[in-house]
Amino acid sequence: MDSYQSIYNTDIKPGKSKQHYLLHLGLFVITFITTTFSGIEWINGGKAYYAIRDLAVGIPYSVSILFILSCHEFGHYFAARFHKVDATLPYFIPFPSLSGFLNFGTMGAVIRTKTPVYTKKAMFDIGIAGPLSGFVACIIVILYGYTHLPGINYLLSIHPDYLSPAYGKSGLHLEFGNTLLFSFFKNIFSNGNVFIPPMTEIYHYPYLCVGWFGLFVTAMNMIPVGQLDGGHIAYTMFGDKKHYIIATISLCALFICGVLGLISETLYPMPFGWTGWLVWALILFFVIKVKHPPINDEEPIGKGRTILGYISFVVLFISFTPNPFIIY
C-alpha cells in the first residue's frame, strides 16, 4: 500500500538525512532476512528447524520478492522526482514468519511524499508508475520461473509420496487461486516434456510463488478506491464524482467477495470468495477511505495517459483472483 500524504518538515538537522538512509537500509536488510526465512518455509513445506545450508534455499525467493517490491516503489519514487515532488526512499516492511500464519516475509513497502502533488498529471504518473513497474517485474520473474522449471524429482525431494494415489487425501492443503495471467503462462509452457506444478504446489517454486504474490499485491493496489494506486489513477482519469461511484462499486464487490469467503469457511462451501477481502474492504473503508482527496486542477490528463490508465485496469483484471488462498 502506498502513501502520498503531504508531510512538512522545515527543521531538518545536519545528521538527520544520514539517519534516514540508515533506516531505509536497515529495513531493507531485515526484510531480506525475513523473506529469506519465509522462502525456506514455503519451498520446504515448513520444518521444525533449519540448518545453515537451508539459507541458500530461501535466497532466490527473497531476491525475487525484493526485486518486485523495489521496482514498484522506485517506479513511484522516480515519477515523483520527475514531477519535482519531494519523496522518501522506500520503507520496506519486514514481517517475521509465524507458525500457522500465511505470510510472505514482508508486508510490502511504501514511500511518502513530503510536498503536495498539485496537478492531476503528476498524481496520475506517480500513481501508475509503481504498479506498472511492479507488473513488468512480475512478468520477468514468472517467465524466468517457467523457463527454468526443475523436473518432477525436485517436487519428489520435498514430497516423496507426491505420485502416490494417497497423496493429498489427509491433512490440510493450500492452493493458490489462479488468475487469467497465470493461467495464460501455464498454458503457454505446458507440453508433454515439462512438468508444470499444479496451483497446490506452486509455493515450492520460488520464482512462481513470488511472481504470483507480486500479481496479488499489484491487484490489491490497483483497486480504484481512495488513495490506493488504482484510486489515484481513477480519480485523475474520471474526476471526483465518477471516481467516487467507481470506488463505491469496487468496495461493495470486494465486500461481497469477503462475505462469500466467510460463508464458505463457516457455513456452506462457495465456488469463490476469501475472508481476507472482507478485512481489506474494512481497512479501505475505515482507514484509507473511499473518496480521494481533492486536487485543484481541472486540466485533463491527455489521451496518452488515459490509454495507459485503461491498460492499468486491464492489469488489475488479469491479476485479480476472488479466492487467492484456498485451504481444504
Residue (of 258, 22, 228, 211) closest to 131 by Cα position? 228
Euclidean distance between CA atoms 157 and 151, whole angstroms? 11
Q: What is the DSSP string of 128-184?
A: HHHHHHHHHHHHHHHHHHHHT---HHHHHHH-TTTTSTTTTSSS--EEEPP-HHHHH
Find the angle CA(295)-CA(298)-CA(303) to the nearest 5 degrees: 110
Predicted confidence at residue 45, as pLDDT, reads: 74
Cβ atoms of 66 and 58 within 8 Å: the answer is no
Predicted confidence at residue 49, as pLDDT, reads: 58
Cβ atoms of 93 and 31 within 8 Å: the answer is yes
Could you tell me whether strands 106-110 and 91-94 are parallel, antiparallel, or unpaired per DSSP bridges? Answer: antiparallel
Question: H or E stretch including 76?
Answer: helix 55-82
Residue 195 is which amino acid?
F
Taking the C-alpha atoms of 36, 42, 47 and 53 in order, what is their torsion angle to the nearest 10 degrees?
-40
Q: What is the DSSP string of 206-271?
A: HHHHHHHHHHHHHHHHHS-STTSHHHHHHHHHHHHHHHHHHHHHHHHHHHHHHHHHHHHHHTS--S
Euclidean distance between CA atoms 96 and 107, whole angstroms? 10
Residues 6+ positions from 140 with CB-CB distance below 8 Å: none
Question: What does residue 174 show for φ and ψ, rounded to 5 degrees?
Answer: -110, 135
Question: H or E stretch including 106?
Answer: strand 106-110
Q: What does the domain layout of the chain look like in residue ranges? A: 17-162+171-327
Euclidean distance between CA atoms 145 and 164, whole angstroms? 26
Euclidean distance between CA atoms 261 and 282, whole angstroms? 14
Predicted confidence at residue 14, as pLDDT, reads: 45
pLDDT, mean of each 10-residue run, the chain (328 residues): 39 56 96 94 72 84 97 97 95 84 88 93 97 98 96 92 86 89 92 88 96 96 96 97 97 96 89 93 95 94 98 98 90
Q: Which three cell numbers stand for residue 247?
A: 470506488
Euclidean distance between CA atoms 233 and 312, whole angstroms? 9
Integer angstrom CA distances of residue 179 from 214, 216, 285, 318: 12, 9, 25, 6
Residue 257 is which amino acid?
C
Q: Which three cell numbers stand for residue 190?
A: 505446458
